Chains A and B, each alone.
Chain A
Amino acid sequence: MYYIWYCTLNISVILVAFYMFGSFSTQCSALLFLSISFRTQLIKEKDDIDYYLEVNFKGLSKEEVAAYRNSYKKNICVDMLREGYHKSFTELFALMERWDVLREAAKVRSIFWLQKPLEEQPEKLDHFYHYLTRAENAERKEYFEDVYNNLYALACYFNTPEDKWVRNHFYERCFKIAQLIKIDGGKKEAEAHAHMGLLYEEDGQLSEAAEHYEAFHQLTQGRIWKDETGRFLNLLACESLLRTYRLLSDKMLENKEYKQAIRILIKASEIAKEGSDKKMEGEASYYLGLAYLAAGEYETALTVLNTYGKISTDLDDDLSLGRAYEATAKVLQSQGEMKEAIKYLKKVLKIARNNFQNLDIVRASTMLGDIYNEKGYYSKASEYFQQAFDTTRELMNMPLMNETKVHYGIAKAHQLMLTINNCIETADITSLDHLLSWKESRSDIAPDLIIGILNNQQYVLNSCKECEISSFLSVQCHTLLTRASVDRC
């Protein structure tokens, strides 16, 4: 507007000048000429006017209008495409579509419905823009290391439980890119294998995870690479590989595929040996020993567990030593060498007491009690069961307490049964007195369910005072006990 006004002013000034100095006819032709030239000038300078307006009148530019009118998601996409980052755009677009699909699915199941759509999370979109475009730029110039770094940064950014699938997507991309990086001797590739392994492990596909970890381990062998926290990659590889192998073998043991499980665990222990980390080696042999035990190869199990014990002693690691002894005792128990087993279990008990490992105490004493119970040393059995029971009471662990309670009750009942049987079998006045007095004074006995039932039986017994019936009842007592122990199982 200003411009046009200014032009008209100009014309009128010139006209006035003509009017003053020239004749009328020249004035007319001049007017015509001027108006024509003015119009062409105006059209020619339309762009200039636009520019002038844009510079001097601070309105909204086209970009600002677009930013206001359109969603942030669209603006980001358009920005990417304008600069020619079409691969980033395709990737982001595909991710957003998947995001929407997941959201729809979640809506049906009404889990993580709280998650906002991507369009409403500008900082996430900004991250996508920043790293994806940089990655694509680097990819164009074939700087694969930069590509990897950018993609990895994105993967790290999305390392939250609800965005796990985004992270996994970028781990996969990293993996593909890493295979193209040759300069660093395979460090990136190794890292990518580690991420893929983690991805599969979390997904529960253990054999695939093991494959990736194996590759990771192979690539890091003999290298002194470290990760961001300063840990050796090779050690990390060993750890993850062992963990996966253990999980795999656990699954196989569940399916009774002992041979395969043992083969995998042997592989694991070899890797642990190469990793030159004593603790890991010990762990590996412990699980191998357990596998042998499950497979029924007791001798081998014993030797393997022995090495574990030795390693633990070398490391002064009481806890693992306790575990070693416990496992050894289990093997011995299965072999039927109770004395040896008892020896080991007592060691375990001692170690556990020294280290205040209450759960270990409970386990060991229960096992000891079981062994004594089987052998018929009921008083000793009940002593150990009592220990277990007392410890669980301290722990406030209800299910464990209930279990030990039953054990304790059974042992106690066994202990009582002997004397009561004797009394019944002799069937004279003194023994009857014994029974009666016990019946009156049994308040000192723990008010246990089984004993309660036993008492009832005894009560019936007393009132009958018949020998034949009493013998029958004592048999019934025993069946009750066994049933109780079956129930416990």
Chain B
Amino acid sequence: MNVIYPLAVPKGRRLCCEVCEAPAKRVCTACTVTYYCGVVHQRADWGSIHEKICQLLIPLRTSMPFYNSEEERQHGLQQLQQRQKHLIEFCYTVAQKYLFEGKHEEAVPAALHSLRFRMNVYGLSSVELVPAYLLLSEASLGLGRIVQAEEYLSQAQWTVLKSTECCYATHSLLHRNLGLLYMAKENYEEARYHLANDIYFASSAFGTEDIRTSGGYFHLANVFHNLNKVDLADTLYTKVTEIWYKYLNNHYQVLSHSRLQQIDLLGKKFENNTGLDEAHEAEAIRILTSTLSIRESTSDRDPEKTVFVLKTLVLLYYLMMNYSKAQEYAMEAFILAKEKLSVHEQSTIQELLNLISAEESHPE
């Protein structure tokens, strides 16, 4: 039933593949409004995003129902717009999450969807397209398609350059991706320039100590690591870890405080959460684990720093309610601290361990 009969398709509908825009041969039977050139692309789309938005696409791609009055028509149009905006955000977050998890192949269809909806809503030359371009470029980079990534980035850069009002956050993202591109091309001079710009814009938008700025520091640290400037990279990695630790610890304190205050009122326990969306959580995990692996390679010299990264990871997994992982990292930290660090450090880690085991023994 997946095969299309072009004559049976409603008039005016474009019969091209959702992924590559080639002439379509198949249709999704669930929504009947999405077409593909072949099984491969259909599978890819289904695995990436289509499964999640299949039914949401129907009202967008069928013709509008007949409305009796101008007022209703306006209302219908507005709702359509609203839906598209919602889809933009949704696809964007999904794609971002895939990227942070390292699943670049899956990210592409989702990012493409986000881009296409953005074009529909905002037009072709709007700044709103930039985030989607950036996602696509990042995915292409991850897949090793540097030329394609450069193309997307040039598109994004040109859009930003033309527009007069473009927020700092977008600037920062653009420069981060440009930095990543040049890192992939091993042009570290340019990469450093763009990453520096990224940090500057992110700081202007969120402040120097924000978790959203930490990405820039992390990539800059990687550049210096690749350039073999170990001490420079070291201070930058420390900075990144500090930013995350501060944020997580703060969040944990706030949570435990409110838990103490309101436990009687509601009579139930508060659930842990990180206060972040999925994409940020994935970013945190990626940044911290790669920092950890770098730290572990030089662990003999300063175990404190390794333990610090481990502690941050423990906090993160604890707040994400992934207690087994938290336990694992905490044990690792504990063993390291026992070998090489002071009693005070050991006791703080012991506290963390107790906290985790308490949570594990009282599941909801």
Contact = CB atoms under 8 A, between A and B. Distances in A.
Contact of B200 (A62, A78, A84, A140): A78
B196 A78 contact: yes
A82 B193 contact: yes
Contacts of B192: 81-82
B313 to A, nearest CB: 22
B229 interface: yes
A74 interface: yes
Contacts of B197: 78
Given A81-B220, A84-B220, A84-B236, A89 B208 contact: yes
Interface in A60-100: 62, 74, 77-82, 84, 86-87, 89-90, 93-94
Interface residues of A, number: 16
B199 interface: yes
Interface string B174-217: 00000000000000000011011101100100001100000001
Given A89-B208, A94-B208, A82 B196 contact: yes
Interface of A: 62, 74, 77-82, 84, 86-87, 89-90, 93-94, 140
Interface in B231-263: 231-232, 235-236, 239
Nearest to B208: A90
A84 B208 contact: no
Q: Which 10 residue pairs across A and B have the least CB separation, nearest first?
A: A81-B196, A84-B232, A78-B196, A82-B196, A90-B208, A82-B192, A77-B200, A93-B208, A81-B199, A93-B203
Contact of B236 (A74, A86, A94): A86
Contacts of A84: 220, 224, 229, 232, 235-236
Nearest to B234: A140
16 contacts: A78-B196, A80-B196, A81-B192, A81-B195, A81-B199, A81-B200, A81-B220, A82-B193, A84-B236, A86-B220, A87-B239, A89-B203, A90-B208, A90-B209, A93-B203, A94-B208
Contacts of B208: 89-90, 93-94
Contacts of B193: 62, 78, 82
A77 B232 CA distance: 17
B217 A86 contact: yes
Nearest to B190: A62
B276 to A, nearest CB: 23
A89 B220 contact: no
A90 B209 CA distance: 8
Contacts of A77: 196, 200
A52 to B, nearest CB: 17
Given A86-B217, A86-B236, A140 B203 contact: no
Contacts of B236: 84, 86
Contacts of B224: 84
B199 A140 contact: no
A140 B220 contact: no
Interface of B is mostly: helix
A84 B196 CA distance: 9
A89 B193 CA distance: 14
Given A81-B196, A82-B196, 11 more contacts: A77-B196, A77-B200, A81-B195, A84-B224, A84-B232, A84-B236, A86-B236, A86-B239, A87-B239, A89-B199, A94-B208
Nearest to A87: B235
A84 to B, nearest CB: 4
Which of B192, B199, B231 is packed against the most chain A CB atoms within 10 Å? Answer: B199
B187 to A, nearest CB: 10
A82 B208 CA distance: 16
A81 B224 CA distance: 11
Contacts of B196: 77-82
Among A79, A82, A94, find the residue whose CB has the most chain B CB atoms closer than 10 A: A82
Nearest to A78: B196
A283 B84 CA distance: 83
A35 to B, nearest CB: 22
A86 B199 contact: yes
A78 B203 CA distance: 12
Counting chain A CB atoms within 10 Å of each CB, which of B200, B203, B220, B232 scores highest? Answer: B200
A140 B231 CA distance: 8
Contacts of B195: 81
Contacts of A78: 193, 196-197, 200
A120 B209 CA distance: 25
A8 B208 CA distance: 54
A54 to B, nearest CB: 13
Interface in B245-297: none
Contacts of A82: 192-193, 196
A81 B217 CA distance: 9
B302 to A, nearest CB: 13
Contacts of A90: 208-209
Q: Name the residue in B196, B203, B232, B236 with the highest tally of chain A Cβ atoms < 10 Å from its Cβ.
A: B196
A140 B230 CA distance: 11
B235 A86 contact: yes
A46 to B, nearest CB: 11
A82 B191 CA distance: 9
A86 B240 CA distance: 11
A37 B30 CA distance: 50
B346 to A, nearest CB: 26
B196 to A, nearest CB: 3
Contacts of B235: 84, 86-87, 140
A81 B204 CA distance: 14
B78 to A, nearest CB: 39
Contacts of A79: 196
A82 B198 CA distance: 11
A124 to B, nearest CB: 18
Nearest to B199: A81
A78 B204 CA distance: 12
Nearest to B191: A82
B191 to A, nearest CB: 10
Which of A62, A79, A86, A87 counts the most B-chain CB atoms under 10 A from its CB?
A86
B175 to A, nearest CB: 10
B239 A74 contact: no
B172 to A, nearest CB: 12
- Identify the interface centre among A77, A78, A140: most chain B CB within 10 Å of its CB: A78
A80 B208 CA distance: 14
Contacts of B209: 90
Nearest to A141: B231
A133 to B, nearest CB: 12
A93 B196 CA distance: 13
Nearest to A63: B193
A78 to B, nearest CB: 4
A48 to B, nearest CB: 14
A74 B204 CA distance: 10
Contacts of A86: 199, 217, 220, 235-236, 239
A94 B204 CA distance: 11
Nearest to A84: B232
A82 B203 CA distance: 15
Contacts of A81: 192, 195-196, 199-200, 220
Contacts of B217: 86
